[in-house]
Amino acid sequence: MTAVPIEPRATNALSRWVRGPYPGDTAIGNIAPIADDNQDVTAQAIAREVETLRAALDGGRDDPRVRATCASTLERLRAQWRLTPEAFDLQTTAALKEIARALKANDGPGAPRPAFPPGAAREALKAIFGYDQFRPGQEEIISAVLAGRDCIGVMPTGAGKSLTYQIPARLLGGTTLVVSPLIALMKDQVDAMREVGLRATYLNSSLTPEERRERLQGLWSGAYELIYAAPEGLEASVGSALARTRLSLIAVDEAHCISQWGHDFRPAYRNLAGIKRRFGGAPVLALTATATREVMNDIVSQLAMSAPAEYRGSFFRRNLTLAAYKKGDGDASRAAGGVRGGILRFIRARPGKSGIVYCLSRKSAEGTAAFLRDEGIHAAAYHAGMPAEERSRTQDAFRRDDVDVIVATVAFGMGIDKPDIRYVIHRDMPRSIESYYQEVGRAGRDGLPSECVLFYSWADVISYDRFESEGSDDVQERQRDQVREMFRMADNGTRCRHQAVTSYLGESIAPCRGSCDVCTGADVLAACAETGGRRARRQRPQQPAAFERDAPSAAARGAMDEEGELFARLRELRRRLATERGIPAYMVFSDAVLLTMAATRPRTATAVLAISGVGPKKLSQYGDAFLAVLRGEPASAEAPLDYGEPLA
């Protein structure tokens, strides 16, 4: 797929699709929920809004975004009528009934589905996120969704799955429901959307009654483009609240959790089976990073998807360097300290870098974290047995770079959007190749070089066999087979590791030639004990690894020395801005953006906007501050920076 860069234009026909279908000075354009402010509502104000609504529908009846937003506005006016029926005279009420009939007729069976103008999705990509081109698969999935089709997308971690429902949420109008498994991460997901100018919120059990009431009012008034909810919430009151909302799209994230054949089956996901019928037949988009054909078929069946479009991306991530060491062998234990010592040396050789160490048991996670802390590493443990408040604090500390290393069980990681995780270490072998791929995929989401080190042994296989497993005999037998498949893959020192992983997931690739220890002969553990930064070799040198398409240019990679003064100052500014806004630093700008700034040294707002990953919203929020540093005029340390309201 070749994407055409979008040239900036002052005005054009497509910009209406990105901004919205109504003028900004109308009540509908602002999506202003009248009832939320406890202000006096007059019959004249209601009548004006109804006339605006009718004119908008008459002028854009075949425009899907106009139609969807009109439906949301109609729901808001219905909610207002329930509160202040005296503000609706007979003429206004009759007009609303006429609008409702027109919307229903246009959405009925056999109604033609209008096409979006060419380039609408690409313009939204640039206007919202600041990117000039899509990553592989994104445009295909978005096109299917905009055409009203169900779709299942299997894309590797870091491939930009979330963008495939975020852009449709802006273009379709109405409200997009995102089913997400992790309540603890919803706030970060919503904060990230607000940073780029999308109207989003979440509904879950963490809200106070007042917060919940306010968000429900906003939902019913059409104030949100995206609403995040957990599957458990859809079984309870959240589902009832959503029944009063016209959904334009249902996105099911981590969709593999619905399949008992998947590596992370969650019973609550099974209750999504009737979600399409329950919410008026809205298109369903199922997304996951890993799914065999068996799991994909189960997802389609469980979600009752109708002839869905399918997209399977490449599972090969060249920017991840894979290595494996058998516990007890010379490679893993040649130096004092065994596996723990190897992990410590590896982390010490990467000071200040973010990383994850996965352990099989809670006890091992706590012990390894304590060991690293005793050795001066900023590390914290994470597992499901910890109190929810402590888990939340640990997640926040990691996302905000207050902790460098998380030592965790498999309870940690799903949904983590931190793009600058530079390494993932498995102290113990994962349960399956799918789990391994999911977990190493949390490194290097920004496309920059990252490392993945696996320690394994047959004792890990025996430990998994001892764990009690739920499910039928067939499911348990499949899980035992998966553990052994994982061991055989790790123990194979003759086949390219990327080739082995992708083959298991149904993709055939040539050897990577530069991104695993088998192909390069590199010994990362031995290299950690050496001086001068030389890389030890097990076998033979090979060509260096290439980088993923979204990684910065060669010039930008040359600026990656984090000791460099300019890059360090840009990172410090980012940290300060993030702290003042109460968000993780990567939500301001990614490392890749800062590296490109350091390499190209833009001097104007136009030049900053040309950097991939800088959109208009972020330019308006942060552009002046970063330009001051780039011009050699850092902001005063005493003066507070004001680039928007804090999000926390």
Residue 474 corresponds to which tokens in the numbers above? 């067939």
Query: In this predicted model, what pLDDT tens digit does every residue of 542-570 receive, in sequence order?
Result: 333 333 434 555 554 544 444 468 888 99
CATH code of the region 320-537: 3.40.50.300
pLDDT of residue 423: 97
Pick the range with the lowest mean pLDDT from 184-188, 377-381, 387-391, 609-613. Answer: 184-188
Which residues, listed in sequence order, are joined to residue 323 by a DSSP beta bridge?
453
pLDDT of residue 515: 96
Residue 294 corresponds to which tokens in the numbers above? 């068996």
Query: In this predicted model, what pLDDT tens digit does every residue of 209-268 receive, in sequence order?
Result: 899 888 888 888 788 999 999 888 887 678 778 877 878 899 998 888 887 655 566 777
pLDDT of residue 513: 93
**DSSP letters spanning 397-437:** HHHTTS-SEEEE-TTS-TT---TTEEEEEESS--SSHHHHH
Amino acid at 28: I
Query: In this predicted model, what pLDDT tens digit does every residue of 363-406 receive, in sequence order?
Result: 999 999 999 999 999 999 999 899 988 988 898 889 888 899 99
pLDDT of residue 164: 95
Query: In this predicted model, what pLDDT tens digit does every residue of 579-605 receive, in sequence order?
Result: 898 888 889 998 889 989 998 999 999
Query: In this predicted model, what pLDDT tens digit does every residue of 630-642 receive, in sequence order?
Result: 998 755 443 444 4
* Separation CA 538–CA 331 (nearest Å): 9
Pick the range with the lowest mean pLDDT from 87-96, 260-269, 476-485. Answer: 260-269
* Separation CA 224–CA 237 (nearest Å): 18
Pick the range with the lowest mean pLDDT from 76-85, 141-150, 327-336, 445-454. Answer: 327-336
Query: In this predicted model, what pLDDT tens digit does every residue of 409-468 receive, in sequence order?
Result: 987 866 677 889 999 999 999 999 989 998 999 999 888 899 999 999 999 999 988 875
* Separation CA 227–CA 186 (nearest Å): 10
pLDDT of residue 79: 67
- Whether 112 has a pLDDT exceeding 60, the answer reads no
Domain 554-630 has CATH 1.10.150.80: yes
pLDDT of residue 522: 92
Average pLDDT in the chain:
80
Amino acid at 18: V
pLDDT of residue 343: 95
Q: CA separation (Å) from 303 to 86, 161, 255, 262, 519?
A: 43, 18, 9, 15, 41
Report the percent of the chain where pLDDT is more than 90. Answer: 37
Amino acid at 417: D
Cut 0.85: pTM above it: no
Q: CA separation (Å) from 139 to 125, 142, 226?
A: 10, 5, 19
Three-state SS for 286? strand
Give just the sign of the alpha carbon dihedral 566, 568, 569, 575: positive
Domain ranges of the chain: 15-106, 120-312, 320-537, 554-630
Same topology, domains 320-537 and 554-630? Answer is: no
Name the CATH superfamily for 120-312: P-loop containing nucleotide triphosphate hydrolases (3.40.50.300)
pLDDT of residue 362: 93
pLDDT of residue 17: 42
pLDDT band at 533 (very low <50, low <70, confident <90, very high): very low
Whether residue 76 contacts residue 219, with contact meaning beta carbons closer than 8 Å, is answered with: no
* Separation CA 389–CA 384 (nearest Å): 11
Higher-confidence position of 125 and 10: 125
- Whether 530 has a pLDDT exceeding 60, the answer reads no
Whether residue 318 contacts residue 546, with contact meaning beta carbons closer than 8 Å, is answered with: yes
